[in-house]
Chain A
């Protein structure tokens, strides 16, 4: 049984006690430790900067040309904190409770409570850095209610919260680079983790411009490499997001937790054709004023304006009268899929539902709507060529976020000693479903406040032998990396890597997307294996290793997705219940709602690698709820 090493004591004292009990590294000793941080998004940049400030030697890696361009930059809506500035009844406990409930009782109480505790400090830190959050006329910070929360606890910077927070963290990181405490390595991709004596001790990277393969030794490794939502090919994630770093660590012995918890966001612009390379998120805040509907009848080809009121189905309002258009992400997404499966979808590919602002415009005036959502409406028009002030928007669910990730204990350390995992890359805080505006909070909580404390405990208590990059473990890892690159370049097939990724995406979306079934999952496993075999025979990877080679970069990432897909399916197959974003058709209530099975599945599933194509071994961490009663989520 997996032990998360949760500290003793009452829930709201655990973190403070643990902070006191943890080993410290004295200021003068910190510079003797080198920490390798992979990733420069909110989690990685905040961690690298904070570790540098503490006096550690840090190397930070990202594959973009600048740390500021990490995928976190794209977050729109906001970041939660339990400040209760609006005096509307928020508290640390309420944020904790909402997060546990939103995650459908599949997250660890102690971690989530700590997250809620730390949330307030994040806002303080960011404001002090100059992050330009929205303010009221009195000069104090503004908040909004986000994603159906009953309190206004979300801090935001127009539709660019992620960018502004990341620029704050990037500023802090830049300051440490200037001070010589962080060495930044851009356009550098981690291709393997080096494990020595059971501890994570280094990396093998490829420089994306020169192709140079390099070795890096350190005392601890931190992965902040983001989520794997691009397994579905189409997603709201940046094109470069991938599972490679986490998957390499998994193959080296870190266990992968709850991979089947993948969040599908209900409000994205639908695909317009085969060429589609990504999907664009339309902020969830639009659901505050937009009404979602489809025609009552099948295959209704009329323009939306020609469909009379009584021939429209406002299905969320109908099915969930109390939450209506603000029902949680998983519920809204599944409901959209259902109506489209019934043949009532709209738009060229029949995969879309209307998000209609006509009523709000009539009630509040176009100016008010423009003031609230002007930039989003402009973005929609840019992409679709349609004017949402006149014609309802079309939206459809898309892969957005992954709750699953490498398993970590309370100290954010994986099953491999020395390997810490933070941000979206770990599995820790969101259970089976993440609430809006909570990913930014978690990434920054991990990076600014939690990891810098817990990693000191590891460095101060583990015995870490001095090693150099000439250690045989590095030879072996580098050899593996080179061999794989050579293999990819030598396939010499006829089909583009992109086409394989697209097929994998379709397969996963079909069988392991918004709703899942045992038969479909088994079929997906078999088909993925076949697709993988085909990839290694028929893919075409152009060019050489010794140059900037986008085709090679892509190929390595897709090859990993092709292996990882199976782990995801095994997890979905084994979890014979519906919870949060994981919906098994066999497990639903008579009304078609998710049926959780707390007796059998109130646990985390962590998977151990056993070879390509071999079913991984499942380990369980039981989830114990001492402070909340397990309830059935109801948004009716």
Chain B
């Protein structure tokens, strides 16, 4: 198969980028999308040009590192599939394919197709965990959890933190990410003691990081490679209203990490 690629090239954060056209030939339909880019990059390197930078690591759809907008869609055309798991047999021979980075204010471009997603880490740092120290846990089976609750928590916990939801959202909101993180714990007994603070702290961290507001477009769930359902967003909204009412304010709660020395 042969393709024309139109790829975003940007040498560094401070420079302006542009779309550049490349040809790739003799692509096997069994290649993954990233292997097709490997071929392009080998050619570029051998001919003395700099390769196209893109993030990737596991190439199994689980690490959340790959982050390409392919023909306008985060992770490309296949449903529930990360870019690294997308194979060329799904494209028409001779097609022109555009490849761009995630676009969002909170995800500045670092180079070419690589963006800075540390904002997501900072949101989690604000409280996306259960605060317990190593060694202090009771026997695992002393906390029974109804299978249904465990399964729903698992569904939320499947989020790989890739940021496709943000890239797909017209407002660049991280609401689906935050919903998945909070609802994972909200469904488990272990998550109850900090449920209120966690909800408020994560939502506020999300706003602080410059993610947009959620206005119910639901593009996020359509783009999510793990098919995290939008239902979690309504659950988060409910939790948030309850939490805010409970505290009678939207002010910042003390951070969850125990700061006392």
Hey, which bits of chain A sit against chain B, CB under 8 A?
31, 46, 49-50, 53, 55, 64-69, 71, 73-74, 83, 85, 121, 123-130, 132-141, 157-158, 160, 162-164, 167, 170-172, 174-180, 184, 186, 209, 238-240, 272-273, 275-278, 280-281, 379, 382-385, 448-449, 452, 494-499, 540, 542-543, 547-551
A74 touching B46, Cβ below 8 Å? no
Q: Is there an interface contact between A382 and B87, defined as CB atoms closer than 8 Å?
A: yes
Closest to B115 in A: A65
User: B65, A135: Cβ atoms under 8 Å?
Assistant: no
Report B137 CB to chain A, min CB distance, Å. 4
Checking B55, B85, B110, B146 against A383 with a beta-carbon cut-off of 8 angstroms, the contacting residue is: B85
Q: In the complex, what residues of A have CB within 8 A of residue B44's CB?
A: 542
Question: CB distance A74 to B55 under 8 Å?
Answer: no
* Pair B135/A121 contact, Cβ less than 8 Å: yes
- Interface of chain B residues 75 through 91 with chain A (CB within 8 A): 78, 81, 85, 87, 89
Judge if B256 is at the interface, Cβ distance under 8 Å: yes
Which of B35-43, B93-101, B171-179, B206-214 lines the interface with chain A?
Answer: B35-43
Given A163-B62, A543-B50: A66 and B157 within 8 A (CB)? no
Whether B130 and A128, one on each chain, are in contact in the complex, defined by CB atoms closer than 8 angstroms, is yes
Chain B residues touching A, majority SS: loop
Q: Does B215 contact A (CB under 8 A)?
A: no
Given A277-B35, A280-B60, A495-B46, A135:B130 Cβ within 8 A: no
Given contacts A171-B130, A547-B12, contact A239 B59 (CB under 8 A): yes
- B134 close to A69 (CB less than 8 A): no
Is B34 interfacial (CB 8 A cutoff)?
Answer: yes
Interchain CB contact under 8 A, B258 and A275 = no
Residue pair B257, A175 in contact (C-beta under 8 Å): yes
Contact of A132 among B48, B55, B59, B188 (CB under 8 A): B188
CA distance A121 to B140 in the complex (A): 9
Q: Is there a chain A Cβ closer than 8 Å to B253's Cβ?
A: no
Q: Is the CB of A540 within 8 A of B46?
A: yes
Note all chain B residues with C-beta closer than 8 A to A497.
45
Is B248 engaged at the interface, CB distance under 8 Å to the other chain? no
What are the interface flags for B49-66 relative to A under an 8 Å C-beta threshold, 1 for contact and 0 otherwise? 111010111111111110
Whether A130 touches B184, Cβ cut-off 8 Å, given contacts A174-B124, A449-B134, is yes
Contact B110 A55 (CB under 8 A): no
Contact (Cβ within 8 A) A382 B81: yes
Q: A130-B190, A275-B31 are in contact. Are A548 and B53 (CB under 8 A)?
A: yes
CB <8 Å contact, B63 and A74: yes
A50-B133, A74-B63, A542-B45 are known; give 15 further A-B pairs, CB within 8 A.
A53-B133, A53-B134, A64-B65, A66-B118, A74-B58, A127-B143, A128-B132, A128-B190, A135-B145, A138-B144, A174-B128, A278-B60, A280-B59, A542-B44, A548-B111
In the complex, which of the residues A160, A175, A449 contacts B135, with contact meaning CB atoms closer than 8 Å?
A449
Known contacts A542-B48, A548-B110, A385 near B81 by CB under 8 Å: no
Q: Kindly list chain A residues whose C-beta atoms are within 8 Å of the C-beta of B57.
A: 64, 69, 71, 238-240
Q: A448 to B134, Cβ gap below 8 A? A: yes
Q: Contact at B161–A68, with CB atoms within 8 Å?
A: yes
> Which of B147-155, B216-224, B229-237, B239-247 lies at the interface with chain A?
B147-155
Check if B120 is an interface residue, CB within 8 A of chain A. yes
In the complex, are the beta carbons of A273 and B28 less than 8 A apart?
A: yes
With known contacts A139-B146, A449-B134, A542–B62 Cβ distance under 8 A = no
Q: Which residues of B contact A126 (CB under 8 A)?
A: 140
B118 and A174 within 8 A (CB): no
User: Is B185 an interface residue when CB atoms closer than 8 A count as contact?
Assistant: yes
Q: When A66-B118, A499-B42 are in contact, do A128 and B111 touch as well, CB less than 8 Å?
A: no
Report yes or no: A69 in contact with B64, Cβ–Cβ below 8 A.
Answer: yes
Tell me the nearest residue of chain A to B201, going by C-beta: A178
A170 near B124: Cβ-Cβ < 8 Å: yes
Asked if B45 and A125 make an inter-chain contact with CB atoms under 8 angstroms apart, the answer reads no
Residues from chain B with Cβ under 8 Å of A66 in the complex: 64, 117-118, 120-121, 161
Q: Which residues of A contact B130 (CB under 8 A)?
A: 128-130, 171
Complex contacts, A179 vs chain B, CB 8 Å:
255, 257-259
| A and B contact pairs by CB, cutoff 8 A, 18 listed | A50-B133, A64-B63, A125-B134, A127-B140, A130-B188, A130-B190, A133-B150, A180-B257, A238-B58, A238-B63, A273-B31, A277-B38, A382-B81, A385-B87, A448-B135, A496-B46, A542-B50, A547-B12
- Report the minimal beta-carbon distance from A538 to chain B, rounded to whole angstroms: 11
A139 in contact with B147 (CB, 8 Å)? yes
A158 touches B154 (CB 8 A): yes
Do B132 and A129 touch (CB < 8 A)? Answer: yes
Q: Which residues of B contact A130 (CB under 8 A)?
A: 129-130, 153, 184-185, 188, 190-191
B30 CB–A CB distance under 8 Å: yes
In angstroms, Cα B113 to Cα A548, docked, is 11
CA distance A261 to B176 in the complex (A): 44
Q: Which residues of A contact B161 (CB under 8 A)?
A: 66, 68-69
Distance from B36 Cβ to chain A, minimum over Cβ atoms (Å): 8
On whether the beta carbons of A275 and B38 are closer than 8 Å, the reply is: yes
Give a binary string over B18-36; 1 marks a CB under 8 Å from any A CB, 0 the rest: 0000000000111110110
Set of chain A residues within 8 Å of B116, measured between Cβ atoms:
65
| B111–A547 CB distance below 8 A | yes
CB contact under 8 A between A175 and B256, given known A74-B58, A130-B130, A130-B188: yes
Does A65 contact B118, Cβ atoms closer than 8 Å? Answer: yes
> B138 an interface residue at 8 Å Cβ cutoff?
yes
CA distance A448 to B133 in the complex (A): 10
List chain B residues, Cβ under 8 A from A121: 135, 137
Q: Is B125 an interface residue (CB 8 A)?
A: yes
B189-214 interface bits toward A, Cβ cutoff 8 Å, 1 = contact, 0 = none = 01100000000000000000000000
CA distance in complex: A281, B131 (Å)? 34
Q: Is B164 an interface residue (CB 8 A)?
A: no
Q: Within 8 Å of chain A (Cβ to Cβ): is B126?
A: yes
Contact B124 A171 (CB under 8 A): yes
Q: Assess the B135–A125 pair: CB atoms within 8 A.
A: yes
Q: A277-B59, A542-B48 are in contact. Are A550 and B53 (CB under 8 A)?
A: yes
| Centre residue among B12, B135, B143 by max chain A CB count within 10 A | B135
Nearest A residue to B155, CB-CB: A132
How distant is the Cα of A167 from the Cα of B158 in the complex, in angstroms?
10
Residue B141 at the A interface, CB < 8 A? yes
**CB-CB < 8 A to B48: which residues of A?**
540, 542
A67 to chain B minimum Cβ distance, whole angstroms, is 8
Contacts of B12 in A (CB 8 A): 547-548
Note all chain A residues with C-beta closer than 8 A to B89. Answer: 385
A64 to B65, CA, bound (A): 8
